[in-house]
A = this chain, B = another copy of it.
Amino acid sequence: MKLYTTAVAPNPRRVSIFLAEKGIDIPVEELNLGNLENLAPDFVAKNPMGRVPMLEMDDGTYLAESLAICRYFEEIQPEPPLFGVGAQNKAEVEMWNRRMEFEVLGMISQCFRNTHPYWEGKIPQVKEHGELCRTTVMQRMEWLDSELADREFIAGDCFTVADITAHTGFALGRIPKIRIAEDQKNLQRWYDDVAARPSVS
């Protein structure tokens, strides 16, 4: 088994935090995305989306998509559980992870890609779309701050994959200047708690 990944990008980071929380250590091959190694024909043959992370399985097949990779490791090593325990809690974690994926990480990523000079000339940028994403995520941060008033983590009292998704989003958000507001004390408390975990720091 081997994980194709890169050091600094949100999705590779989600998988590396997940594996660290599980205490799983697997061989890694780093791709240089600056050199477009992820778009080289031999890599695209393995993952047609040309993205990392991607897991090479022992049977020679390839598994892409961060959350699919995380779920695979949850299945083969359930402890500590990061996708919930029991039917209802698993569904709640899924709900929260999806909210964090679409409303936080996704919006921040779209804002970054569509507004930041780093992407100029690399992808077609639509600044108006990026700014709408910024507005949406700032509304979501107000909501999240109120949600976190009476619980420790995004999906309840346990650290889960939803925290990994949200934290990765907010860490990325610093680049396009999406920052937790001073009066969002619950959100900031949660952010600092997660940042202090050995898997994240």
Oligomer: number of copies? 2
Binding stretch for chain B, among A62-70, A163-171, A178-186, A187-195 = A62-70
Q: Which residues of B contact A49 (CB under 8 A)?
A: 99, 103
How far apart are the CA atoms of A36 and B64 in the complex, in Å? 38
Complex Cα spacing A143 to B71, Å:
25
Stretch at the interface among A13-21, A26-34, A85-93: A85-93
A67–B88 CB distance below 8 A: no
Contact A90 B71 (CB under 8 A): yes
Task: Indicate whether A157 reaches chain B with its CB closer than 8 angstroms.
Answer: no
B68 touching A94, Cβ below 8 Å: yes
Interface centre among A68, A76, A86 (most CB of B within 10 A): A68
The answer to whether B91 and A71 touch across the interface, beta carbons within 8 angstroms, is: yes
Which of B61, B65, B94 is A71 in contact with, Cβ under 8 Å? B94
The answer to whether B94 and A75 touch across the interface, beta carbons within 8 angstroms, is no
Would B63 and A75 count as touching, CB distance under 8 A?
A: no
- Contact status B87-A68, CB under 8 Å: no
Q: Are A87 and B72 in contact (CB under 8 A)?
A: yes
Q: State A94–B71 Cα separation when bound (angstroms).
A: 8
